[in-house]
Structure 1
Amino acid sequence: MGSQPEMHVVIVGGGIAGLATAIALRSPSRRITILERSRMVREVGALLSLQPNATKIVSKWGIDSFLAAAEPMPDRAFRMFNTDGELVREMNLDKKQFGADRVMYHRQDLSLSLKNAAVCPDLPGSPAEIRTSSQVVSVDCEGGIVTLESGETLRGDVIIGADGVHSAVRTAVLGEEQKAIPTGISAYRMLIPTEKLGNLSAPKKLLDPLDPSTTMVIGHDRRVIMGPGRGAKMYGIVALVPDEKMAETSSSDSWVEEGSIEKLREAYADFPAWLHEIFVAAPDIGLWQLRDIDPLPRWVRGRTILIGDAAHAMLPTQGQGASQSIEDAEALRAFLGASPAKEDVQAALERVFAARSERAGLIQKYSREQARPGTDAASKEVKLDPGQFMKYNCDYEGAADWEERQKRGEATV
């Protein structure tokens, strides 16, 4: 073997799925190029979680020092309250149950940590090359040729479509465009510096920015999910509103669309005054319409595979979006091996699809089910059970183990 890597992996998309895959596939015999359409100068200000199924995986990649720089916060409990402030359900998130923590990150911090690990020359394997402002317009899946908006073409032995919900690679793999589906729910996102929350009237059991736990307030077919992040310096809030109850138009699925605090308060007019105090403390607010996609009949064509939101975009109600991307990256690492022969690439990718597609599709389904109204309109009784699918989601030890469980008929709910 010569000095040049024998396999070129082209990853389309430099988000969490693409960066995680670049880390997972690092090898001395592999050259990795990430094509990112943006300039990667600004990430959306929002919190996200890596669930135990994902934290178990990343802990094996030797990137703990990079992740520590992102100021992760283990989430110790999930508490659900009704609009009267009564505790309806509490779920302790015990590390012993699934072998790892549920961890909260600021999206920007996690992305930066993954990027630093992907390009670091000191980790095993060759560092990835990230090319920004590289919009992909078409893919020859069989030939492994990616064409950029500039007209430049790149050839890869493996093409990985990690380009999100509006994936150009998905269109190439399916042979037709499959657009994301509006789900009838819109989400307001806020990040509030915790020092702004010190003198509010919210009960401490509902609002304690130093308590490493997640709180949900639910009622009137709406819900608010709150919790600390970035080392408890920020407090993240997501407020979900059915589109028919929106006081403003929400037609964009961009996380950076600006929302109106006045319209948010109008949508939550029948919630307690202390919640409105929290809303008002937000320095800015984002609004986007939640969309997902139906399970795809295929993720693979030729030497090209879809991962992350391009393959299985899902609602945030299970907190599994980023975690499923991590699972995809681990599956590619497991089945592509250290250096498969080029003619074996498609078989390896099909093996990833066989191990991953049913599981990801079920978690998409669960996420939709958890988005249904969680209260009974007549009795105001809270019906939502956030732990309903926890065992299936988090009891996961990697793609090879899951493949064996499939063979034994054990990869079920």
Structure 2
Amino acid sequence: MSPYGRKKSPRILIAGAGIGGLTTALSLHAAGLDDVLVVEACPNLRAVGAGINLQPAAVRELTELGLAQALDEVAVATSRLEYHHRYGGLIWSEPRGRGAGYNWPQYSVHRARLQELLLSAVRDRLGPEALVTGRRLLRYEQGRERGRNTVRAYGAEQSAPFSCDLLIGADGINSAVRATMYPHEGPPLGNGISMWRGVTEGRPFLDGRTMVIIGCNARVKAVVYPVSRAEDGGRCLLNWVVEARTDEGPDGAPEEEDLRGGADWDRAVPPQDVLEHVEGWRSDFLDLHDIVAGAPRIVRYPMIDRDPLPAWTDGRVVLLGDAAHPVYPTGSNGASQAIVDARVLAYELAHHGVDEALARYEATRRPQATRLLAAHRRLEPDPVLRQVEALAPNGFLDIRHVLPEDRLDGIKSCTRQVTGVDATALNARTSWSVPV
């Protein structure tokens, strides 16, 4: 039983109803902590976004929250990860999820479908009153109230503040909670790479469950994977990303005002903006040009992150997910790490008082997140792929004629570094579920 089963549960306020915030609410409820309110800036939670991947570590946590069947119905169990040259040659292929020895699958899913699933579970389990929309939290203050440490979270001037015992900042890479905690940090950091993203209805490729990374060019790379299953040999939704080094700012990164939101990064762009970067690419299993041209909407984003923080906690305020440790999407791991954060935090809060729980959560998660951020910044395993491009710029028939087997095997260790945990460790770890 939770230690709070015999006394009043702390009042917990979650800033942000994204994947991290909603999973935190579900995790707290499952751990017996029911005095939870999620506050979201968007007035209407619309089905937006593109595809994401959930690593087995995250799928385990969603499974233990009772969401396995619902997740399987909206997602694709990823079978393999493959790297291909821009002229079609296979560089590397490795199994993923259960095929790689995990007890849980890896999933590819549309972000909107996942958020809808989590939102429905929050409303069913915590009640519709547990979510407030259209209220952007801008800052917080801490003090004491009736002998208790309290936090007041403020939105617009005319709105009353929210009072709580614990504020969880799950409000994304431009987190207002983080900005209050670290007011002089500045905007996110760009690396000079732009990403064009879209979701296109098309024919499934290979086995219909494989993620492919295409390119090897030092400046351009494409990622394609299905986020829905094809019924009766029909069509499915293909999520795709094209990354290109554009070096827009004077230091090789987007301008600061762009990173602060000055640029209209959510504006749709024409397919030709993308196609010029992949001109001449070819493959016998996937027509990348048709996929890009067929997207109903294409959006461009900068590749950004933030430096690691010296601490995620400030009294009774704590950061989680992208608010704590945003990373480049190269490891398909951002959403997964937010889910793991949520489960660890709920577990610690169920077993310890708030102050000790926050310290234990940070001691567990912050070092791991810092290591992952460093691996993502190395853009693993791009150095190996660039070597292939240098040795075989016009393509190849057999990769073993380009690089020796042991050099190629290094790609496997690179992918493990950006996903953060191997199968043996994950399968053997004790559960973070809390009997209540």
Same-fold status (TM-score > 0.5)? yes
Return closer, same or farther for 1:130/1:4 CA change in 2, 3 Å cut-off.
Answer: farther
Whichever residue aligns with residue 33 of structure 1, its letter is: L
1:85 partner SS:
coil
Measure, in 1, the Cα distance between the counterparts of 2:215 and 2:295: 20
Paired letter, 1:285: I
**Which amino acid in structure 2 is aligned with residue 388 of structure 1?**
S
CA distance in 1, matches of 2:303, 2:7: 44
Give the match for residue 407 of structure 1.
none
Of residues 57-66 and 43-52 in structure 1, the stretch that sits farther from structure 2 once superposed is: 57-66
State the secondary structure of the residue aligned to 2:324: helix
Q: Which residue of 1 aligns with 2:110?
A: 106
* 1:331 matches 2:351: no
Q: Superposed, which structure 2 residues align to 1:5-404 within 5 Å?
A: 6-26=9-29, 28-69=32-73, 71-95=74-98, 97-121=101-125, 129-141=130-142, 143-149=150-156, 150-194=158-202, 197=203, 208=205, 211-221=208-218, 222-232=220-230, 233-244=236-247, 251=258, 256-272=266-282, 274-337=287-350, 340=352, 344-370=353-379, 372=382, 374-376=385-387, 378-379=390-391, 380=393, 386-391=411-416, 393-395=420-422, 397=426
**TM-score normalised according to structure 1 size:** 0.84
Shifted more, 140-149 versus 156-165: the winner is 140-149
Aligned length: 382
Give the residue type in structure 2 aligned to 1:242: R
- Residues 364 and 399 (structure 1), Cα distance of their counterparts in 2 relative to 1, 3 Å cut: farther
Deviation at 1:356, TM superposition (A): 0.4
Q: Secondary structure at the match of 1:223?
A: strand
Q: Deviations over 1:110-143 (max 9, x none)?
A: 000011111214xxx7776111110111112453
CA–CA distance in 2 between the matches of 1:41 and 1:29? 24
SS in 1 for 2:290: helix
Q: CA deviation at 1:352?
A: 0.6
Could you say what secondary structure the match of 1:11 adopts? strand
Distance 1:388 1:43, change over 3 A: farther
Q: Is the 8 A contact 2:269 2:299 kept in 1?
A: yes
Q: Is the 8 A contact 1:138 1:147 kept in 2?
A: yes
Matched letter for residue 189 of structure 2: I
Q: Secondary structure at the match of 1:40?
A: coil
Q: CA deviation at 1:244?
A: 3.5
Q: Report the secondary structure of 2:138's partner residue.
A: strand
TM-score (norm 2): 0.79
By how many angstroms is 1:28 displaced? 5.0
Change (3 A) 1:399 1:358: farther
Is the CA contact (8 Å cut-off) linking 1:47 and 1:229 kept in structure 2? yes
For the aligned residue pairs, the C-alpha RMSD in angstroms reads 3.1
**Cα pair 1:22 1:128 within 8 Å, conserved:** no
Secondary structure of the structure 1 residue equivalent to 2:35: strand
Q: Does the CA contact (< 8 Å) of 1:78 and 1:92 recur in 2?
A: yes
User: 1:323 & 1:40 partners in 2: Cα distance?
Assistant: 24
What code does the residue aligned with 1:60 have?
Answer: E
* Alpha carbons of structure 1 residues 28 and 229: separation in structure 2 relative to 1, 3 Å: same
Give the corresponding residue for 1:200.
Answer: none
CA–CA distance in structure 1, aligned partners of residues 205 and 215 of structure 2: 18
Cα distance in 2 between the residues matched to 1:332 and 1:38: 25
Contiguous gaps of at least 5 residues in structure 1 = 198-206, 404-413
Answer whether contact 1:51 1:394 (CA < 8 A) is retained: no
Per-residue CA deviations over 1:226-246 (Å, capped at 9, x if unaligned) read: 111123420111111112499
Q: Which moved more, 1:158-167 or 1:218-227?
A: 218-227
| Identity rate, percent | 25
After superposition, the Cα gap between the structure-2 partners of 1:2 and 1:295, relative to the gap in structure 1 and judged at 3 Å, is closer
Alpha-carbon offset, residue 317 of structure 1:
0.5
SS in 1 for 2:81: strand
2:58–2:337 CA contact under 8 A, matched in 1: yes
Q: 1:288 aligns to what SS in structure 2?
A: strand
What SS does the corresponding residue of 2:92 show, helix, strand or coil? strand
Decide whether aligned partners of structure 1 residues 94 and 129 sit closer, same or farther in structure 2, where only a CA change above 3 A counts: closer
Quick check: 1:52–1:101 contact (8 Å CA) kept in 2? yes
